[in-house]
Amino acid sequence: MSRSQDSWNKREREKKKQKEKQDKAEKKAERKQQGTRGIDEMMAYIDENGNIVDTPPDPTRKVEVKLEDIVIGVPKKSELDEAEAVRTGIVSFFNEAKGFGFIRDLQSGESIFVHINACQDRIGEGNKVQFDVEKGPRGLQAAQVKLAP
């Protein structure tokens, strides 16, 4: 009277595996019966407004673009007018002993460094000045600073 080597849990696991295998086979047969999805069903198109649609774009509404109009890379900086290049500001701090200070730009409100060598006129705190902006070693720097009329 020996007992079976398979325990009840072992038999249940085997039944479960067989059931899952059978379900998988049924799903596979069902997919084959329905047929495969064609490439046309999987394609998506983008219309002129940037929306994803399932219909191809209308060739009559196609817009031609010249090769010269396509810009690759960073566009070149356009030449600024002389009036735009000259900025106005107020000297917020100036140390005559050390020869440097800061100008508060009236357009952007940022503080720009100024050295006494860049000044064409004698300036002091509170003066309204006109200046150009250059890129210095430590950031923006005022150049050709003169008193505003």
Residue 47 covered by a domain: no
On whether the CB atoms of residues 126 and 103 are closer than 8 A, the answer is no
CATH code of the domain in which 104 resides: 2.40.50.140
pLDDT at 140: 87
In a domain, 63, yes or no: no
Flag whether 90 is in a domain: yes
Which CA distances in Å does 73 have to 70, 76, 79? 10, 9, 18
Spatial distance between the Cα atoms of 87 and 97, rounded to a whole number of angstroms: 26
Q: What is the pLDDT of residue 111?
A: 92
pLDDT for residue 82 = 43
The span from the CA of 122 to the CA of 145, in Å, is: 9
Range of the structural domain that residue 95 is part of:
82-147
Residue 83 has what pLDDT?
A: 44
What's the CA dihedral at 12, 18, 23, 26 to 10 degrees?
-160
118 within some domain: yes
- 137 lies in a domain? yes
pLDDT at 80: 45
Instruction: Give a yes or no: residue 108 inside a domain.
Output: yes
Q: How many CA atoms lie less than 13 Å away from 76 in the CB half-sphere?
A: 2
Consecutive H or E run containing 142 = strand 139-147
Q: Is residue 52 a part of any domain in this protein?
A: no
Count of domains forming the chain = 1
Within 8 A by CB and 6+ apart from 63, the residues are: 48
Q: E strands within 4-138?
A: 45-46, 52-53, 87-95, 100-105, 111-115, 128-136
Cα distance between residue 84 and residue 100, in whole Å: 25
33 sits in which H/E element: helix 8-34
CB 140 within 8 A of CB 112: yes
Per-residue pLDDT of the chain (149 residues; tens, 9 = 90+): 456 667 888 999 999 999 999 999 999 998 888 876 677 778 899 888 889 998 888 888 888 889 988 888 876 665 444 445 788 999 999 998 999 999 999 888 899 999 999 899 899 899 999 999 988 888 889 999 999 87
Say if 114 falls within a structural domain: yes
